[in-house]
Each structure stands twice: as structure tokens, then as C-alpha cells.
Structure 1
Amino acid sequence: MAGTLRPFVFWGQKNDSISLKIDLRDVTIDNVNLTEDRLETSFEGVGAQGHNKYSFELDFYLPVDTENSKVRTTDRAVEFSIKKKGAEVWPRLTEKQEKLPWLKIDFDKFAFEDDDDSEEDAEKMAAEEIMRKLEKDLKENSVKSIDMKATYLFTYNFLQFVGFLYIVTVLSYNFLKLGSVAKEKAFEMVGYQIMFCQTAAVLEVIHPLLGLVKTGALAPLLQVGGRNLILFLLVLQDVRLQIAPVVWYLLMTWSTVELIRYPFYMFSSIGMDVKMITWLRYTAWIPLYPLGILFEGTIVIMSIPLFEESGKFSLQLPNSANFAFYFPWFLHLYLLILGLGGIQMMKHMHSLRKKKFGSKDSQKKAA
């Protein structure tokens, strides 16, 4: 015989009592312990898992009257009739709001009966009560889901904002302290931080796929993918790129964009619209995006002779795969992709800005 299992338990209620039907055949009651607040049982019989030992425990929603409660066995079930201590409708059977897969509603016995009501009216009241309970549970679950989503998005955007604020602060402070020498040490000073933030930014491609945000996945894929290619496949691979002053300008440009973008999303996740941040979000990209594309393109051009020299990421024939790949050629192609992708990204931002603020013509007409 297998270990102890849970039987299917069907429950119903009247104004003054609870009914339980345990779905077991050829059953023997091993133990029944009924108190005001709890029912503990164990049986041996034939249920959904065949002939086995079955048991379950329930903590009642409200106290019950143990003296006037009864239990009986039939050929097909064990039936409890448990008196409530007060004549009142219970919104659920158990003390805690939990979903027990083995506990089912017995609709045949889920009715409210009193001396003045007909059976039809009682059944109607029971159905209405069940619907109200279901609606309440759905609303509560929906609110919890929205709260969890908003909390997660707010926290993610806040942490990213803090990360990029740290990068801008360190780069600016050292530039003021050391002058142009600080530009050659930009990656040394904040390399780990920018790599962490850009790795975390991959989540922005996943968020729309999971339905956490309403925007599409293409725009963040282009931005995050392009940045990570520059950062991890180029700058990280050669110290000569890391000490190039253009890296300082690129990290400052990226970070300045994010110091505007993340607070915008942070407040949007909780339904707030800070007008200055909103205006900056849809305006600051006009100078910053072209600068970012310029600096990224500069790094790609600088890296081509370095990868020609090192041969890193290139695959030459003969080899077992019978396939050749020359990474510098890919970088030449990527310059074209960078230009076209940058234009597409700026068109996308222009479209969002136009949608948010309207065109100049419409603003003049409105004036």
C-alpha cells in the first residue's frame, strides 16, 4: 500500500451548517478529531489513487458546534454534517484563503435555506454569493498582480538610474580632478559598473516579451544589442581601445541618456508624469543619439586594424567546420548597420515625440 494521500472532499453549506462528502468507497474510518476550529481525519478505502490510506486536515473559517455535528459512512462516501455556531454565510470553508486541489464545491448542497425562502430562492442566493466571491478574488488577484509588476519595474529602473548616476559622477569628478588624463582612465574607473548595467539592460528586451511593458522588443534589442557589441566585443578585448579618450565621451553620452530615460520609466511605472523629465525624455535624444552613434562608429573604425592584427574572433580555413569568418569585414558591415540602425532609432524617437507633443503645425494652430 502506498503512503497517505488526500481524498477528494466536496463541501457545501446552509445558513447554519456545513456538509462534507469524502469521495471514498469501501471506507474504514481510522480517526476523526473534530474541534471547534479544526477537523483532522484519516481513512482507509478506495479513492482516486486506488486502495490506500487517505487523510486531510481543515482549519475552519469560524468555530463550529461539535456536539451537534454528525458523521456517517455509506457505500460510496463518508459524510459529515457539521453545525455552525452562528447562522451566517461563510465566504470560504478554511481559515486561510488558499487553493487546495483536493477540496471542491458541492453545488448540490451549496444553498441557503430558511423558513421563509423557497428552495429556488435559496439556490439563487447561493449562486449570487459564489459569483460575488469569485469577482472579489479576481479583483484582489488583479490588484496584487499590478502592484507586483509596478514594484518590480520601479525597482529595476531605479537601480539602473543609480548605476548610471554613479558612472557619471565618477567620470565627472575625476575629469575635474585630473583633467584630460581622466579620459584615458575612464574604462579603468567604471568598466565593471558599465558592464553590469548593460548586462542588466538585456531585461529590457525580455520585459515586452513577457507583457510587463506595452512597448515592442525591437527598439530595446537594437539599442542594447548595439551597445553590448561595442562594449564587450570591442572595448573589453583590447586595452588600446580602453585607454582611448573617445571611450570617456561614449560612456558619458550613454549615461546621460539613461539619467533621463530611467527616471521617466520609473515614474511611469507608478502612474506619475513629471513634465520636465517627460520633456527631456522626448527631446534630449536629439543631440545625444547622434553623438552616441558618432562615438560608437569611431570605436568601430579604431578597432578594425587592431582585430586585423590580432585575428581575434576570426576563423580561417582550413578548419573542421569548413567555414571562414573574418571579423574586420564584419566590423566594416557593422558600420553600415550602425548608421542605418541609428537613423531608424532616431525616426522612432521622432515619431514618439510627435505623438507626445504634436507637430509644430498643430501647435501653431492650437495657439
Structure 2
Amino acid sequence: MAGMLRPFVFWGQKNDSVSLKIDLRDVTIDNVNLTEDRLEACFEGVGAHGNNKYGFELDFYLPIDPDKSKVRTTDRAVEFSIKKKGAEVWPRLTEKQEKLPWLKIDFDKFAFEDEDDSEEDADKLAADEIMKKLEKDLEENQPPSIDMKATYIFTYNFLQFVGFLYIVIVLSYNFLKYGSAAKERAFESVGYQIMFCQTAAVLEVIHPLLGLVKTGAFAPLLQVVGRNLILFMLVLQDVRLQIAPVVWYLLMTWSTVELIRYPFYMFSSIGMDVKMITWLRYTAWIPLYPLGILFEGTVVIMSIPLFEESGKFSLQLPNAANFAFYFPWFLHAYLLVLALGGIQMMKHMHILRKKKLGSKDSLKKAA
């Protein structure tokens, strides 16, 4: 029985008998082997580990009389009335002095079938008391449950916060150390980090689709697609864009937004509302979002003549697909999409701000 689940066993005694109560509901007895010195028992029923097979073995402190011992099943337990061979109180139930976590003392001793019928009500009351104590014991010893969804969301937002914090620190340090020359090396300094963080941000489109967060997927989709287009299809493709000072401003703006947004979602995932972070989440966008749109638009405008020159991502006729695509025209159209999408995003944030902070948008009200 080494690998078998153990049920909770409550034991009590009188001078001439020992009582055992095995806490299993809807139980059937598979096997009981009771000898003078030992009890081995196997059951199938509903216990602390659900509907399963349970079993245990006990070596008695002193010999018992198996012929005069009894066992019965009820809806809520298996009950043993074990007759001692001698009339004396045992200092413990088991032969060896050992601590068995599943074996507990029943301080409210109860009667069995061989006692008077007049004590039946007392039996039920005692059994109810035992069940209440058992339930309380299970609640006290039950390990705290872990919300895996909240843990995952918290971890994701925390790691993204650390990533963007690193970007801000590096960009700021280089600027303080090298001055304006550091702006030309912004992408060289944190390019891999920003690309990793923005690639990971694709998960923010997947999270609402899987029901991991309550927000919609459309807003994060627009942001992820827009940023990744600027980052991977424009800046990454031409070193002349990478050394443009506007890229330093763009990366700083993006990262500053995320240094507020990710802690907000991080604490929200565990039910915490940090007033200062909440206020910043619904206020800092007012200057940062227009700046981000301005810098993104500047990068697009700067890239148009570069892609006209290189012809990259453009498809000219004749070709096997019989389809033409001129990437600079797409960039012209994207400028309009960027402006309209930015306006809609700011309207959306304004509505959320009014709902969250109210009509008075002071920090004092948020606090």
C-alpha cells in the first residue's frame, strides 16, 4: 500500500474497545484484513483526493480480538468497533510511536451498532461534529490555490516592463554621456531589445482571443501592427533611418508609454489598484500619444524617398503574378491611416479616462 492514497482516519477508545472512523463518502470496502496485531484495509470512495482508491495499515499497540470486532459502512464513513483483549487505556493506537498525518484523535468518542438504540441520536450528533472538525482541518491544511491565468498575465507584463525599462535606461545613459551623438546610435544600442519586446507584444492580440484578459483584440492589433511596420519594415531596412535622431525620440516615447501601461496591467491582474499608476495610465497618453504619432509619421515620410530609390517591397510588371505593388504609395496611404487611427485611439483613451477618473481629472481625485 506504499503508493496508495491515505484517507483521514479518526480513532478513539474506551477501556475495552477502540473506534475507527474512516472519512470516505459513497464508500465500498475492497478488502479488510483484521488480525490480533494488525489492520489492513482498502476502500473505494470520495475522500480528500476525490473519488479514488484509498487504503492504510496499522499495527496495534496491544492485541485485539478480531472475532468480536465489527465494521459497518454509512453514507459518510466506514466505522470499526475493535474489541481489545485487555481492559486498559492505550497511550497510543500504533505499536510504534510515529506521527501519521492522516491519523487523527477523535476526542468525541461515538457509539456503534452494538450499543443501545436509544443512543442513535447521539451517534449522529457525534458523527456530525467529526465531519465539521474534518472539514475545518481540511480547510486549514489546504494549500493556497494558484491562479495560473493571473500568474501568467502578471509575469508577461512584468517582463515587458523590465524590457522597456532597460531601453529607457540605456538611451538615457548614452544621451547623458555622449550628448546628441547618442541619438544617432539609438537603434544600434537597443535595436535587438526593442524588436524582442515588440515581437512579444503580439501576445497581446492573442490574450483577449483566448479569454485571458477582458479587453478587446482590435486596439492592441492596431498598435502592434503599426509599431512593427515602422520598426521591422522601415527602420530595420535602411541604416539611414536607423541613425536618424527621430528614432531616438520615437523609441523613448514608445518605451515611456509602456513603463506606465505594463505596471498598470501587471497590478490589475492581481486585483491591485495603485492610484498613482492608474492616474498616469489614463493621463500620460495626452502628451505621449500625439508625440508618438508625430514621430512615427516623421519616420514614414523620411522613408518614402529611400524606398523609391531602393525599390524594396515594390513589385513591378511584368511578373508571374501579373500584379503590381508600389510600396511608397502604400506609405503615403499609411500616413492617412496613421492620422485617422491615432485620432480614434485618443478618442478611445479620452472615453476610458472619463469613465475611470471621472469628469475632474485631477491627481487628487484619482488618489
Name the residue aligned to 1:157.
157
1:321 positional shift: 2.2
Q: Which residue of 1 aligns with 2:201?
A: 201
| 1:144 match | 145
> CA-to-partner distance for each residue in 1:304-326, whole Å, 9 max, x for gaps?
11112222222222222222222
Is the contact made by 2:254 and 2:292 (CA closer than 8 Å) also made in structure 1?
A: yes
Q: In the alignment, which residue of structure 2 is the partner of 1:274?
A: 274
2:293/2:338 contact within 8 Å kept: yes
1:62-107 per-position Cα deviation (integer Å, ceiling 9, x unaligned)? 8699x97xxxxxxxxxxxx99798xxxxxxxxx9xxxxxxxxxxxx
User: Matched residue of 2:324: which SS?
Assistant: coil
Cα distance in 1 for partners of 2:39, 2:255 equals 63
Task: Give the letter for the 1:214 counterpart.
Answer: K
Q: How does 1:51-62 map to 2 (within 5 A)?
A: none
- Equivalent AA in structure 1 for residue 145 of structure 2: K
Counterpart amino acid of residue 251 in structure 1: L
Instruction: Give the counterpart letter for 1:172 in structure 2.
Output: S
Counterpart code for 1:200: A
Cα distance between partner residues in 2 of 1:64 and 1:220: 65
Aligned to 1:49: none
User: Which whole-Å CA distance do the structure 1 matches of 2:284 and 2:161 have between them?
Assistant: 16
Change (3 A) 1:20 1:167: same
Match of 2:48 in 1: none
Shift of 1:361: 10
CA contact 2:157–2:266 (8 Å) conserved in 1: yes
Q: How does 1:55-204 map to 2 (within 5 A)?
A: 144=145, 146=147, 148-204=148-204
Once the two structures are TM-superposed, the CA of residue 149 in structure 1 deviates from its matched residue by 2.1
- In the alignment, structure 2 segments of 5+ residues that lack a partner are 1-19, 44-51, 67-77, 83-101, 103-111
SS of aligned partner of 1:144: coil
Q: Find the counterpart in structure 2 of residue 292 from structure 1.
A: 292
Contact 2:150 2:269 in 1 (8 A): yes
Cα separation, partners in 2 of 1:361 and 1:261, compared to 1, 3 Å: closer
Cα deviation code 1:33-72 (max 9, x no counterpart): xx967869xxxxxxxxxxxxxxx98655x8699x97xxxx
Tell me the CA shift for residue 275 of structure 1: 1.5
Judge which range, 180-189 or 311-320, deviates more: 311-320
> What is the aligned partner in structure 1 of residue 91 from structure 2?
none
- Who is 1:260 aligned against? 260
TM-score (norm. length: structure 2): 0.64
Query: 1:272 aligns to what SS in structure 2?
Result: coil
Contact 2:29 2:42 in 1 (8 A): no
* 1:241–1:299 Cα contact (<8 Å) kept: yes
| Structure 1 residues 299-354: Cα deviation after superposition (integer angstroms, max 9, x where no partner) | 11111111122222222222222222221111111111111111111011101100
Q: Given the superposition, is the C-alpha separation of residues 170 and 20 from structure 1 closer, same or farther in structure 2, using an over 3 Å criterion? A: same
Tell me, yes or no, if the aligned pair for 1:260 and 1:277 is still in contact at 8 Å: yes
Structure number with larger C-alpha Rg: 2
Q: Which segments of 5 or more consecutive residues in structure 1 lack a partner in the other structure? A: 1-14, 23-31, 41-55, 69-80, 86-94, 96-112
Measured against aligned partners, the alpha-carbon deviations of 1:219-263 in whole angstroms (never above 9, x if no partner) come to 111111111111111111111111111000000000111111111
Match of 2:321 in 1: 321
Structure 1 position 232 matched with structure 2 position 267: no
Distance in structure 2 (CA, Å) of the matches to 1:347 and 1:37: 72
- Aligned identity (percent) is 75
Question: What is the CA-CA distance between 1:154 and the residue it aligns to?
Answer: 1.7
Instruction: Name the counterpart of 2:346.
Output: 346
CA contact (8 A) 2:175 2:182 kept: yes
Q: What is the aligned partner in structure 1 of residue 251 from structure 2?
A: 251
- The verdict on how the C-alpha distance between 1:21 and 1:214 changes in structure 2, with shifts beyond 3 A counting, is same
Decide whether aligned partners of structure 1 residues 64 and 189 sit closer, same or farther in structure 2, where only a CA change above 3 A counts: same
Q: Does 1:310 align with 2:327?
A: no
TM-score, normalisation: structure 1: 0.64
Q: Name the SS of the counterpart of 1:318 in structure 2.
A: coil
Paired residues, number: 282
Provide the secondary structure at the position in 2 that maps to 1:213.
Answer: coil
Q: Kindly tell me: are residues 261 and 58 of structure 1, through their superposed partners in 2, closer, same or farther at Cα, counting changes over 3 Å?
A: same
SS of 2:316's equivalent in the other structure is coil
Q: Which amino acid aligns with 1:144?
A: S
CA gap of 1:168–1:306, structure 2 versus 1, over 3 A, is same
Q: Are the structure 2 counterparts of residues 194 and 362 from structure 1 closer, same or farther at C-alpha, using a change threshold of 3 Å?
A: closer
How far did 1:20 drift?
A: 4.7
Runs of 4+ aligned structure 1 residues displaced above 4 Å come to: 15-22, 35-40, 56-60, 62-65, 81-85, 113-118, 360-363
Distance 1:231 1:361, change over 3 A: closer
Partner SS, residue 323 of structure 1: coil
Q: 1:36 to 1:158 in 2, by over 3 A?
A: farther
Q: Are the counterparts in 2 of residues 314 and 327 from structure 1 also a CA contact under 8 Å?
A: yes
Letter of the 2:259 partner, please give it. Answer: L
- Give the corresponding residue for 2:90: none
